[in-house]
Structure 1
Amino acid sequence: MIRYVLRRLLQLIPVFFGTTFLIYTLVWSIPGDPFAGKCGQVKCPQTFVDKMTERYHLNDSLFEQYFKYIGKLLTGDFGETFNEIPVGDLIGDAYPVTLRLALVAICIEALIGVGAGVLTGLRGKGFLDNLVLMSTLFLISLPVFVTGIVLQIVLGTEWGIITPSVSADATIGELIVPGFALGSLSMAYIARLTRTSIAENRRADFVRTAIAKGQPHRRVVWVHLLRNSVIPVITFIGIDLGALMGGAIVTEGVFNINGIGGLIFQGIQNQESATVTGIVVLLVLVYLFMSLVVDLLYAVLDPRIRYD
């Protein structure tokens, strides 16, 4: 197991450097004046331009800029905006909110999606199966922001069950409805994926063998059938966490949540390359971490994987 973990960690190193270099290149090599509009309606003084050019090493080659940035990044320094605000502080304020929102969405989509998939996969065709299929198709057909706006209007404005906008504290209770809206699309995919996987594995040899040995139905389902059926679902959920954190821009805008999504939008709008680079690099780290967690869960669920 230790060799398996070490091998996976070593595989992440070139992926990290490759993705971060690509991100840094795409963000900082955009043609145009990086200081345009940074001094209001007038052109920035040459002294300001020279100072910013020296601070961000813009006269160096792209490779030199990248390795200087990585050197600072490894010490926890995400750089500064053109207003000399540390990007790490901006991320520190916004990241916990988006992380809570993403975790709420993951929990909702996993509980409801897996539960619906297991029930329909075990029971086969019938009223419940048709209901789940129609419901998931409906959610897949709707953009996430439409689901969010509908929930905001119905539950907030019309019925008064929730507040239309999330407060600055963004507690778990306030994030349940935005989390449902954010995870609704993935929830539909997980339900369908689980249903298909359960239906296929019901006829597998290991399930028939467990039944022939006289094992209780509950043990056959939860230990043998579900354990082998959730591997593709875990893959989807693990990748989806990074996608939820980066793709929450619209949902955070609908419910007025001050998170990473809004910070990315402001960074792009204000052409703050350091902010955009820092956040995207953080999302890459989340993807890599979740990829490692998924690989380890593979090895736990199916010990044959670690020996391959």
Structure 2
Amino acid sequence: MGRYTLRRLLQAIPVFLGTTLMIYYLVWGLSSDPFAGKCGQRACPQSYVDLMTKRLNLGDPVIVQWLKYLGGLFTGDFGRTFSGNEVSDLIANAAPISFRLAVVAVVIEIVIGITAGVVSALRGRSFVDSLILISTLFLISLPVFVTGLVVKQVFGVELGWIRTSVPTDPDVFQLFVPGLVLGSLSMAFVARLTRTSMMENTRADFVRTAVAKGLSRRRVVVAHILRTSLLPVVTFIGTDLGSLMGGAVVTEGVFNIRGLGGLVFQGIQRQEEAQVVGVVVLLVIIYLLVNLVVDLLYAVLDPRIRYD
């Protein structure tokens, strides 16, 4: 296991270098004039251009800029915006909120999604199965921003059951409704994926062997069918965590949450390239770490998998 973990960490290095180089080049290398629109309708003063060119290393080739940027990353320096704000400070304020929101969404999709998938698989071709399939199809058909607006209008404005705006530093309970909205689409996919995987494994040889040994139905379902069926579900949930952190722009906007999604949107609006690059690089790191954890969980869920 230790050698496998080390090998996966070494494999993540070229992926990290390649993705950060691509991101940096797309944001900085394709811009013919990084100061366009920075000072409104007028051209920026030459003194300002010279200062920012030196501070952001804009006079160097893109590859040199990227290498200097990587050097700063190892010390926790994500760069500085044109307005003078440290990107690391902006991320430090926004990331915990987005992380809590993503965790709430992932817990919801795990608990509700897997439970619904298991019930649907065990009650195949019944009324409950049809109800779950129709409900998940309905959630998949609805864009997340529509779900968020409907929930906010009905339960917040008309019924007054929830707050229409989340506080500046919300706790987990205050993020429950936005997390439910954010995770609704993934929850539907998890339910359907769990159902399909369980129904496929029900006809597998190792399940027939477990039944032939006289094991109870509960043990067969939990220890054999469900445990093996969770492999594709874990893969989906693992990659979904990074997507939820970076793709929550709409949900954060609907509920006025100041997280990473809003930080990226704000950076695009204000043409703050360093801010956009910093957030995306952070999401790349999160993706790599989560994928490593998912790979290690495979051996726990499926005893047939061994890491030598």
CA contact (8 A) 1:4 1:306 kept: no
What CA deviation, in whole Å up to 9, does each residue of 1:68-97 have, x standing for no partner?
000100111101111221100000000011
Name the counterpart of 1:100: 100
Partners in 1 of 2:192 and 2:151 — Cα distance?
23
Partners in 1 of 2:75 and 2:229 — Cα distance?
41
Partners in 2 of 1:129 and 1:271 — Cα distance?
49
CA root-mean-square deviation: 1.2
4+ runs deviating over 6 angstroms: none
Amino acid corresponding to residue 191 of structure 2 in structure 1: A
Using the TM superposition, give the Cα deviation of residue 36 of structure 1 relative to its aligned residue in structure 2, in angstroms.
2.6
The normalised TM-score by structure 2 is 0.97
Partners in 2 of 1:40 and 1:291 — Cα distance?
43
Name the counterpart of 1:122: 122
Amino acid corresponding to residue 162 of structure 2 in structure 1: I
The reply on whether 1:263 has 2:230 as its aligned counterpart is no
Name the counterpart of 1:176: 176
Name the counterpart of 1:22: 22
Amino acid corresponding to residue 125 of structure 2 in structure 1: K
Using the TM superposition, give the Cα deviation of residue 234 of structure 1 relative to its aligned residue in structure 2, in angstroms.
0.3
Structure 1 stretches lacking a partner, 5+ long = none
Alignment of 1:15-164 (within 5 A): 15-164=15-164
The reply on whether 1:13 has 2:13 as its aligned counterpart is yes
The normalised TM-score by structure 1 is 0.97
Name the counterpart of 2:249: 249
The reply on whether 1:217 has 2:230 as its aligned counterpart is no
Amino acid corresponding to residue 115 of structure 2 in structure 1: G
What is the DSSP-based 3-state SS (H/G/I as helix, E as strand, rest coil) of the residue aligned with 1:44?
coil
The change in CA–CA distance for 1:306 and 1:22 in structure 2 (over 3 A counts) is farther
Name the counterpart of 1:201: 201
Q: Which range is displaced more, 164-173 or 143-152?
A: 164-173
CA contact (8 A) 1:23 1:277 kept: yes
What CA deviation, in whole Å up to 9, does each residue of 1:262-287 have, x standing for no partner?
10001011110100000000000011
Name the counterpart of 1:2: 2
CA contact (8 A) 2:38 2:271 kept: no
CA contact (8 A) 1:101 1:178 kept: yes
Q: Which range is displaced more, 41-50 or 234-243?
A: 41-50
Using the TM superposition, give the Cα deviation of residue 307 of structure 1 relative to its aligned residue in structure 2, in angstroms.
3.9
Alignment of 1:277-288 (within 5 A): 277-288=277-288
What CA deviation, in whole Å up to 9, does each residue of 1:90-133 have, x standing for no partner?
00000011101100000111111100000111121100000001
Q: Which range is displaced more, 121-130 or 202-211?
A: 202-211
Partners in 1 of 2:108 and 2:307 — Cα distance?
34
Amino acid corresponding to residue 61 of structure 2 in structure 1: S
Partners in 1 of 2:84 and 2:132 — Cα distance?
52
Using the TM superposition, give the Cα deviation of residue 37 of structure 1 relative to its aligned residue in structure 2, in angstroms.
3.0
Q: Which range is displaced more, 199-208 or 84-93?
A: 199-208
What is the DSSP-based 3-state SS (H/G/I as helix, E as strand, rest coil) of the residue aligned with 2:181?
helix
Using the TM superposition, give the Cα deviation of residue 6 of structure 1 relative to its aligned residue in structure 2, in angstroms.
1.2
Using the TM superposition, give the Cα deviation of residue 211 of structure 1 relative to its aligned residue in structure 2, in angstroms.
1.7
Q: Which range is displaced more, 95-104 or 37-46?
A: 37-46
CA contact (8 A) 1:234 1:294 kept: yes
What CA deviation, in whole Å up to 9, does each residue of 1:282-307 have, x standing for no partner?
00001101110110001222244334
Amino acid corresponding to residue 35 of structure 1 in structure 2: F
Amino acid corresponding to residue 284 of structure 1 in structure 2: V
Partners in 1 of 2:205 and 2:37 — Cα distance?
67
CA contact (8 A) 1:201 1:207 kept: yes
Partners in 2 of 1:244 and 1:263 — Cα distance?
14
CA contact (8 A) 1:121 1:199 kept: yes
Amino acid corresponding to residue 96 of structure 1 in structure 2: P
What is the DSSP-based 3-state SS (H/G/I as helix, E as strand, rest coil) of the residue aligned with 1:228?
helix
What is the DSSP-based 3-state SS (H/G/I as helix, E as strand, rest coil) of the residue aligned with 2:305?
helix
Structure 2 stretches lacking a partner, 5+ long = none
Equivalent pairs counted in the alignment come to 308
Using the TM superposition, give the Cα deviation of residue 174 of structure 1 relative to its aligned residue in structure 2, in angstroms.
1.5
Using the TM superposition, give the Cα deviation of residue 41 of structure 1 relative to its aligned residue in structure 2, in angstroms.
4.1
The reply on whether 1:236 has 2:236 as its aligned counterpart is yes
